[in-house]
Structure 1
């Protein structure tokens, strides 16, 4: 098929009238779109909640364990001459 044939076929397809759309399609699309938006919103809120819980848990752990403090030495040199 040459380029002119492909262009002619494409023009014929674009000049045709589109097929009729079922009347209840709009209602179904709106219902599905609303449900999809609700799910996305719920997922986003859940992710923010999980992030908040993780930050609080890490903060509490860091406050109690204090990982930035050097641990005390477990061996002490003998004290002679006291």
Structure 2
């Protein structure tokens, strides 16, 4: 086996023990603002979806009341005349 993994491990240990990098000042505020935007967008889309579902249910109900698809359509041909 080569010593390649040992070099990687040594480099990782050096990075973990060394001084930590400086975090930009506005990183936390920027992340919080982005999270707020994502939550607001998700809430808006969810509300739009519910409104669309409600509108579809109302449209279906209006269509069903007006056309009455459960009723049998009137016959175009009259029944034969019997008893004459």
Give the TM-score normalised by structure 2: 0.74
Superposition deviation, residue 21 in structure 1: 1.5
SS at match of 2:37: helix
Shift of 1:46: 0.3
Task: Indicate whether 1:25 and 2:27 are aligned.
Answer: yes
CA shift, 1:77, in A, is: 3.3
Q: CA deviation at 1:19?
A: 2.7
Unaligned runs of 5+ in 1: none
Match of 1:75 in 2: 77
Instruction: Give the stretch that moved more between structures: 14-23 or 40-49.
Output: 14-23
User: What is the aligned length?
Assistant: 82
Q: Compute the RMSD of aligned alpha carbons.
A: 2.2
Distance 1:10 1:72 in 2: 83
Any idea what the Cα deviations from partners look like across 1:19-73, whole Å, max 9, x if unmatched?
3221110111111110110000000000000000000000010011000111011
Work out which of the residue numbers 53, 58, 61 in structure 1 matches 2:60: 58
- Report what 1:49 is aligned to: 51
Q: Normalized against structure 1, the TM-score is what?
A: 0.75
